[in-house]
Copies of this chain bind each other. A is one copy, B any other.
């Protein structure tokens, strides 16, 4: 505890609160209007109400989060998960409201995979009989489950899973078995300590023949003692770079029998009488869920990144270091770090990216919902009693679905990489204090990182995009007339290829979009040539494909941002000043991307060397200067409550140094131990004991 002479100290002037007040005074951006545009008024009110409830609950006290070890963090997270369930029941929260609460709490919780993948899989892939057997108990948290797909030896390659589910005709059961160590289920969220059930993805084997991975419901722990059942070996896989409030687990089976009813049979099943395998109606159905999950990742990425940007921009407005080298007076105070162009060029393009990703996520979700509607209509027409619709009936034109699938793959990869790497840039822009846990960025970054690997590794996914683009390019060359955005940009490129491009990227926003489209098309036809004419191996082209996917996804983000700004919603809901500022953010995002990827824009002849030079030295630098005064208000519009950020550096009121000091001096449990510092003695740790040991000095 600090003595009184310490308590009277204040930071040297000007105070952080004054600096942030000045920042907010120098911009007339309407934070409220932009917030409501980003989140809707409803959501913001809901967030305020839920925040009030959470803050008043002892279970959600965050003050020891950064200090606690893994065991405490996990058991606290479990206590929070339980309390959250109780509150949800008490207040009758919807799924959306529950989601708001978990975002405010901002840590993965042990019910996480139960509440998402376990329930969803039971609901979507179970028959109504299976809903009776499993789903309703799961919804009441009597069965607590997880989704056990990944194995020790198999992540991305689902077809390669080694766990087996062998059909026993004699007693109409399945035997779930782990034949090798590499078949151990691994990384399964909520499994390590929490779940008593699992949906296990296993190779279905009938009469020695494998029919590929299918989902089986398996009880793994006793409902009363919570001990593993016989022939089940289950536990937590150990500490991770982040995500340590979650009990990711392992799971092995030694020939465990389960009833026929435990194979989730909505799409494929085994006929219990004949033992015959009944095929699913369409493999594409699976695409649906994955596409939704990936679209959600894209939608969230803007907000994920915005947390780091909020913290870094507020802190860089409070932190002052050195005088401006050209300053006239030697008495000029130190300069706000945010005034340095080297800091601006790192943070402001990320600020622009938060909006770009947000609008792209919205566009992506709209496309997904449009497709769902279309499919529902088609299923309605095609569905006949007694049999499932055929794939062709389900998707009379697979065009939109294929486009959506490829788009979601590419954007998931680019958006999550942008958010993850952007967070680290924000952390470093905070200088030394960015390294303190109290910055609030490190743990958020570490928890977010797996997003670059799950739901499709970001590098693997780029192959899906390239495959789709090559297929589209072949179709266009063969005269396909289908009209979607991809075929349109490819056709435009072909038509103008020989004339060359002359995009006015510095003058016209639509030309920026066209230049990105041109580059994608150029790279597509180049890759197609390498594959189809030069007969390059697929493996040899992976690096090209990754570039192509990145280029295409960057185009999609630029286009979505541009389209959003031209939409009626924008002109109706935002005032003119905000719209102008948004256009500047659009240009900053696009031109900064263009400049970073300059060599591809050159080689495709989309722009000239001179244009890139001007973009870099003039356009981007001017935009930084124009956006700079609005930076703090722009991050304010994301509306993260301090309680959610849990960051000394990102405090709304700018009391950065007071908060860092308070946490270190008054809350840090390490300061309650006294050690013996001398090499000849024992460590002799004493807790809170002021005259504990005699040194041998």
The interface of chain A, by Cβ under 8 A from chain B, is: 2-3, 5-6, 9-12, 66-72, 74-75, 78-79, 81-82, 85-86, 141-142, 144, 150, 152-157, 160, 162, 178-184, 186-187, 192-196, 223-227, 231, 233, 235-243, 247, 250, 252, 254, 320-322, 324-326, 334, 339-342, 345, 424, 427-428, 431-432, 434-438, 442, 446, 449-450, 452-454, 457, 459, 530, 537-544, 546, 595, 598-599, 602-603, 609, 612-613, 617, 621, 657-658, 660-661, 663-665, 667-671, 673-681, 683, 685, 690-695, 697
Contacts and interface: CB of A to CB of B under 8 A. Distances in A.
B86 A238 contact: no
By CB atoms of chain B within 10 A, which of A181, A184, A254 has the most? A181
B71 A673 contact: yes
A530 B542 CA distance: 41
Contacts of A664: 235-238, 250
A239 B244 CA distance: 15
Given A238-B663, A334-B157, A78 B180 contact: no
A238 B659 CA distance: 12
A661 B184 contact: yes
B671 A182 contact: no
13 contacts: A11-B152, A69-B71, A71-B669, A74-B670, A142-B678, A160-B321, A224-B697, A226-B676, A238-B668, A241-B442, A241-B446, A342-B546, A435-B453
A685 B75 contact: yes
B679 A86 contact: yes
A156 B322 contact: yes
A675 B75 contact: yes
A157 B323 CA distance: 9
Given A321-B155, A670-B192, A9 B250 contact: no
B431 A247 contact: no
A34 to B, nearest CB: 28
Contact of A695 (B226, B427, B673): B226
Residue of A11, A438, A613, A670 ringed by the most chain B CB atoms within 10 A: A670
Contact of A437 (B142, B224, B240, B320): B240
Task: Give me the 7 closest cross-chain CB pairs, A-B, nearest first.
Answer: A69-B69, A598-B599, A85-B679, A241-B442, A342-B542, A325-B538, A9-B181
A675 to B, nearest CB: 5
A242 B196 CA distance: 35
Given A668-B238, A674-B226, A657 B181 contact: yes
A401 to B, nearest CB: 22
Given A194-B675, A432-B453, A178 B9 contact: yes
A414 to B, nearest CB: 15
A681 B86 CA distance: 10
Contacts of A231: 5
Contacts of A667: 238
B612 A152 contact: no
Contacts of A162: 12
A81 B678 CA distance: 10
Contacts of A224: 694-695, 697
B181 A661 contact: yes
Contact of A69 (B70, B238, B450): B70
B250 A665 contact: yes
A233 B670 contact: no
Given A9-B180, A322-B157, A609-B602, A668 B235 contact: yes
A431 B223 CA distance: 35
Given A11-B181, A11-B182, A141-B679, A193 B661 contact: no
A671 B70 CA distance: 12
Given A453-B431, A457-B431, A438 B695 contact: no
Contact of A671 (B141, B236, B437): B236
A178 B8 CA distance: 11
A446 B671 CA distance: 23
Contacts of A598: 598-599, 602
A696 to B, nearest CB: 10
Nearest to A3: B233
Nearest to A235: B671
Contacts of A432: 150, 155, 187, 450, 453-454
Given A3-B254, A9-B180, A428-B453, 5 more contacts: A82-B681, A235-B664, A237-B664, A238-B667, A340-B539
Given A66-B238, A70-B69, A181 B436 contact: no
A685 B681 CA distance: 36
A675 B74 CA distance: 10
B195 A144 contact: no
A79 B683 contact: yes
Max chain B Cβ within 10 angstroms of own Cβ: one of A142, A156, A321, A595: A321
Contacts of A9: 178, 180-181, 184, 252
Nearest to A345: B543
B670 A71 contact: yes
A603 B599 contact: no
A537 B335 CA distance: 15
B11 A180 contact: yes
Contacts of A2: 233
Contacts of A144: 677-678
A657 B436 contact: no
A12 B161 CA distance: 11
A326 B233 contact: no
A323 B156 CA distance: 12
A437 B238 contact: yes
A195 B677 contact: yes
A63 to B, nearest CB: 12
